[in-house]
Amino acid sequence: MRVKLLPFGVLKDVVTTAALELPAGATVADMLAMLGESLRHEPGAVQLLPRIAVSVNAEYARGADRLQDGDLVGLLPPVSGGEYDRPASADTVVTYLTREPILADALFAAAKQGSDGAVIAFDGIVRDNTRGRRTLYLDYESYEEMATKQMAELAAQAIERFSIRGVTIVHRLGRLFVGETSVLIIVASAHRAAAYDASRWLIDTLKKTVPIWKKETFVDGAVWADGDPFPQELLAAEKPVEGSSR
């Protein structure tokens, strides 16, 4: 059988094949082992494979999951963090990706309702340096279909988990320059403690699970940003990929 490969982030630089031939009944782990063998001469690639997540048809998959002919397999390195360019309204949940500047003030104002005792905003912006290297700009890319679903699910989970009223999550894609907003999270709640807790949980979880990657361009070169490790339950590799080391 034949599956299609969709690499993201740093994996785009090393996985150059668009498809992989596998025996019938092959699992995600089998696919990773075969891919690891084909990439054994690529510096760093084999070491990265045990740390990636895999999606099958835009859903996270585990190593034991069996693949089918024609499946679209996303190769997702640790993340750095439908697409609707629309302002927030009085909706309980507003989540979207955009390639336009994020209008933080307007979104914050639209998120408020009379029943709220607290509205908390996290405004993530592009800073002018990373570890002493001067930043020129960032490029964000995403597995958009999957990221859109994950953002909406995170918002719903936060409402249930923290008993808050509303969540807005907006993430920018494309090229961003110093001072621009890359991600905006707004939480509305009757009580401030729940709003603070939910805001922190949302940004921390988004950075680990939503498939968005960041390439940083400095005055002296460019690099894909190291992402936070995926939660253990999302890792596709259940054992070290052949040829890898830990």
Looking at every residue in the chain, the average pLDDT score rounds to 86
* β-strands 72-76, 166-172 pairing: unpaired
Tell me the per-residue pLDDT of 183-227, one tens digit each, with 9 for 90 and over: 999 999 999 999 999 999 999 999 999 999 999 999 999 998 876
Q: Total domain count for the chain?
A: 2
Domain that holds residue 35: 2-78+229-234
The Cα–Cα gap between 204 and 186 comes to: 14
Are residues 44 and 20 located together in one domain of the fold?
yes
* Domain annotation covers residue 85: no
Are residues 107 and 210 located together in one domain of the fold?
yes
The pLDDT value given to residue 239:
52
Q: Percentage of residues in the chain with pLDDT exceeding 90?
A: 59
* Domain annotation covers residue 83: no
Are residues 70 and 111 located together in one domain of the fold?
no
The label of the residue with tokens 């990439």 reads: 39
Q: Percentage of residues in the chain with pLDDT exceeding 70?
A: 88
Say if pTM beats, i.e. exceeds, 0.75: no
Distance from first CA to last CA of the chain, Å, rounded? Answer: 31
Are residues 61 and 136 located together in one domain of the fold?
no
The pLDDT value given to residue 44:
62
The pLDDT value given to residue 166:
94
The Cα–Cα gap between 107 and 64 comes to: 42
The Cα–Cα gap between 229 and 93 comes to: 27
Q: Which amino acid is at 34?
A: M
